[in-house]
Amino acid sequence: MIDRKFCVAPMLDWTDRHCRYFLRLISQHTMLYTEMLTTGAIIHGDSDYHLQMDAFEHPVALQLGGSNPADLATACKMAAQYDYAEINLNCGCPSDRVQNGMFGAVMMKDAEITANCISSMAEAVDLPITVKHRIGVDDHDSYDFLRDFVGRVAESGCEVFLVHARKAWLKGLSPKQNREIPELNYNRVYQLKKDFPDLEIIINGGVTTLEQSQEHLQHLDGVMVGREAYTNPYLLASVDQDIYGATHAIKTRRQIAEEFLQYADNELSKGTKLNAMTRHILGLFHGMPGARQYRRHISENAHKPSATIEVLTTALEKTSGE
């Protein structure tokens, strides 16, 4: 069983395997998502590079980008060899590159194509197939449009919908602006749950605290946090206790950093570049004494060809934060 009460969103160029390992050190129960991977990258690229993960990261969902049912089915079969807990179809990304590939948020305009994709994915693997989408796209932003989209996709077998509570503008706004300018409409997502009580509805968009998360959980099945979990990752420190009711001790920032040191040292021995890992931990001491010096030392030194684990140990000495 997958418990999606608290999730970290798929974030392009951010939620790679090093990031997910780091976040898992902070929370045992949070559901983690990969960055979006296109079917082309998996089928025609280095699939092992894209799909590999450490068993410690579990549970992890793979997010796919694509609109060809056969390609999505093939990518799902390839991904099934890597022990993902779920495969999620991206129907929310508004970037020009994604639109040109006819996937992402543009798929909301054709629920029939989206439903066919879900059916093919579900037939290919014995894994939950879920959808992440917006509450609308361009001028298709009525509640009726959203309800009909979810209803048609649910008919194809999808039982879990991760809903970014903003619509997407496909022209005129950048992906960053699409995360900020369209107005949030949480009530519309709440209404979805009322209309589809048997579906699992997860809300995304604008959530920055556990208090906000707990409020949403009064109405919905789960909450998905994006940028805040990346820039201020210690937000996850009490998720296991506050959201999932776990009784194990909350780790200190320093404990987490020291555990990540061991991971980084092992990855360095395999040829992984230090800055590929350290870029994800810059926010660990957010708001703590010495946080700026900690970030600066890592940023100025981790990218050097000669960089070793000493960069991290020295950075830790610059903060007194626990």
Known catalytic residues are 93
What is the H or E stretch that residue 6 is in? Answer: strand 6-8
Could you tell me the CA-to-CA distances from 70 to 79, 158, 167 in Å, in that order? 14, 17, 28
**Residue 82 carries which DSSP code?**
G
Task: Report the 3 state secondary structure along 210-257.
Answer: HHHHHHHCCCCCEEEECHHHHHCHHHHHHHHHHCCCCCCCCCCHHHHH
Amino acid at 11: M
Secondary structure (3-state) at 30: coil
**Residue 137 carries which DSSP code?**
B
284/301 Cα distance (integer angstroms): 17
Are the CB atoms for 76 and 125 separated by under 8 Å? Answer: yes
Are the CB atoms for 79 and 34 separated by under 8 Å? Answer: no
How far is C-alpha 154 from the geometric centre of its chain's CA atoms? 22
What is the H or E stretch that residue 155 is in? Answer: helix 143-155
- Which residues, other chains included, contact 93 with Cβ-Cβ below 8 Å and sequence gap of 6+? 12, 36, 65, 103, 104, 105, 175
Distance from the first to the final alpha carbon of the chain = 34
Tell me which long-range contacts 205-208 makes (C-beta under 8 A, separation of at least 24): 205/164, 205/165, 205/166, 205/179, 206/165, 208/235
